[in-house]
Amino acid sequence: MRKGILLPIFLIVSSAFAQKDSPDLDMMAKIRDEGMNHSQVMDIVFNLTDANGPRLMQSPGYFKAAKWAKLKLSSWGLENSNLEIFGKWGKGWELEKYYLAMTAPYYKPLIGFPKTFSSGTNGLANAEVILLRVKDSSELVSYRGKLKNKMLIIERPDSLKLGFAPDAIRYSDNQLHTLADYDPKTPVTADAAAANATLTAQASARLLAQVKKFALGENALGIMTTSLRNSDGTIFVQNGIAYNVEMQPTLNDISISYEDFMTMQRLLQHQIPVSIDLELRTKIYSDDQQGYNVIAEIPGTDNNLKEQLVMLGGHLDSWQGSTGATDNAAGSAVMMEAVRILKTLGVKPRRTIRIVLWGGEETGRHGSINYVKNHFTDTTTNRYNAAGDKLSVYFNLDNGTGKIRGIFLQGNAAAKPVFEQWFQPFHDLGASTLSLQNTGGTDHLAFDAIGLPAFQFIQDPMEYGSRTHHSNMDNYDHLSAEDLKQAATIIAAFVYDAAQREEKIPRK
């Protein structure tokens, strides 16, 4: 009896969802034609990367890119395009000149890149390289009085293994099925190897911080660091100091290639003296210490719904080693292209569509966290306020250049049948996976934390983890144009569907 009653009810509910959220196929075809056949995404991403340089937060490159994006959004007809202050940020840093080479026992250019807030040198400096044999800070005392004007390296016990895996990969069908089958109720088995690797990395970071503090007190010229990932010409480089509003210049810290580092280490282990030349000129920017997000809107037209919001975004800031193409000019360009598509098609959304390009993501998601705090948070309950209740959904993109394969639902099971319908016109483009899994590390988390529906799309990994993420290889040449077109097309469709839907996207 009960089974006989439940089955028709389930079918009725499923049918109701399908009916309510079936996409407008005529509009989907128009969005697809504009996004796939008349795309401007690569021109947008060129202007955010090659034309502007690195977009380190509060650097000239960041402001140049932000102002360009604001004007471009306005030129497409978006309204209220502006740079909105999200709060106090602090100082900016920029690299103006850099040269590093080994000069003894022979000449060899060294592959490397300075970390942020390295203080620089007074012209060209020649320094002896000192190999520190230390496993904890207590062993530093033996080097007291010996490090003035020296360049330091910390002895490493590891060695490079030849790589046989490809740099660029796409999700396999099995991997996508695993994501789709994810059950939040299933206990997660601890990965001992990953846990040990994390502990080792944390211990290394603590030791480096202690060595740098000691070296500053000893008036050392600087330190050269590396990792096993810094091979084959790729240098992973980001912060020289932890974020703080003062952001004072510190010890010169150069991330160099593993091969160059180990060459010098072996020479010193064999008592062969090593010297380097270093010239480093940097600049601190302190005039404007406010943090900014780029914001623009397509106003809603439905009298009952226009006060509600559909938001989309990605972070605009990058690290300094390259032009931040996959992290995250790609995501910013895709989101800009998505609203361009909608404006080109003359869409009159029922809800207001708001795009935000976030600042300060790389050092702790400051732009999105402060935006959500300033606009949507009830500070008494730490849940969303009345303004937050008007947000239907936030969509984010920040995992490189790979095409969209689906969406992380952040445990929001109620949104699953909605998005299943919206993905159907794009199954032939490889996008269909819905995973209840949470994913972290980027700007949707600020919305999710106070109970608002916010989602990051699943993207093919490509070279993101192996080659481009926070490295000197994160440039335009590592972008996949067809994948970015696909992503912009799907996101434009999702934004349109959310803006036209009778109801807001379900909360958890």
Work out whether strand 252-256 and strand 275-285 pair parallel, antiparallel, or are unpaired: unpaired
Same domain, yes or no, for 207 and 344?
no
Tokens of 48: 């955010």
| Residue type (1 letter), 250 | T
Domain of residue 100, CATH code = 3.50.30.30
Read off the pLDDT of residues 339-390 as tens digits, 9 standing for 90 and up. 999 999 999 999 999 999 999 999 999 999 999 999 999 999 999 999 999 9
Backbone angles phi, psi at 110, to 5 degrees: -110, 135
Same domain, yes or no, for 102 and 79?
no
| Residue type (1 letter), 378 | D
Read off the pLDDT of residues 447-505 as tens digits, 9 standing for 90 and up. 999 999 999 999 999 999 999 999 999 999 999 999 999 999 999 999 999 999 999 99
The pLDDT value recorded for residue 496 is 98
Q: Which domain holds residue 325?
A: 22-90+287-500
Residue 61 belongs to a domain: yes
Tokens of 11: 């079918």
The answer on pLDDT for 5 being more than 70 is: no
Same domain, yes or no, for 46 and 151?
no
Alpha carbon distance 422, 446 (integer Å): 24
Could you say which of 285, 302, 336 is where a domain stops? 285
The pLDDT value recorded for residue 389 is 98
Average pLDDT over residues 259-288: 98
Alpha helices in 270-346 (DSSP H): 330-344
3-state secondary structure 348-383: CCCCEEEEEEECCCCCCCHHHHHHHHHHHEECCCCE
Q: Is the entire prediction scored with pTM above 0.85?
A: yes
Within a 10 A sphere around the Cβ of 190, how many other Cβ atoms? 8
The answer on pLDDT for 216 being more than 80 is: yes
Contact 463, 167 (CB under 8 A): yes
Same domain, yes or no, for 274 and 295?
no
CA 112 to chain CA centroid, Å, is 22
Domain of residue 459, CATH code = 3.40.630.10
Going by pLDDT thresholds of 50, 70 and 90, the confidence category of residue 10 is very low
Residue 7 belongs to a domain: no
Give the chain's domain count.
Answer: 2
Same domain, yes or no, for 112 and 258?
yes
What is the arrangement of strands in the sheet containing 79-88, beginning at the earlier edge strand? 79-88, 290-298, 352-358, 309-315, 391-396, 454-459, 404-408, 433-435
Contact 243, 89 (CB under 8 A): no
Read off the pLDDT of residues 276-332 as tens digits, 9 standing for 90 and up. 999 999 999 999 999 999 999 999 999 999 999 999 999 999 999 999 999 999 999
**Minimal CA–CA distance to 161: which of 259, 254, 265?**
259
The pLDDT value recorded for residue 12 is 43
Q: Is it true that the peptide bond before 54 is cis, omega within 30 degrees of 0?
A: no
The pLDDT value recorded for residue 187 is 79
Same domain, yes or no, for 160 and 273?
yes
Average pLDDT over residues 400-425: 98
Could you say which of 251, 285, 319 is where a domain stops? 285
Same domain, yes or no, for 300 and 257?
no
Going by pLDDT thresholds of 50, 70 and 90, the confidence category of residue 218 is very high
Rounded (10°) CA dihedral 44, 46, 50, 53: 20
CA-based torsion, 228, 233, 236, 237: positive or negative = positive
The pLDDT value recorded for residue 13 is 43
Same domain, yes or no, for 321 and 417?
yes
The pLDDT value recorded for residue 11 is 41
Same domain, yes or no, for 196 and 316?
no
Backbone φ/ψ region at 232: left (φ over 0), alpha (ψ -120 to 50), beta: left
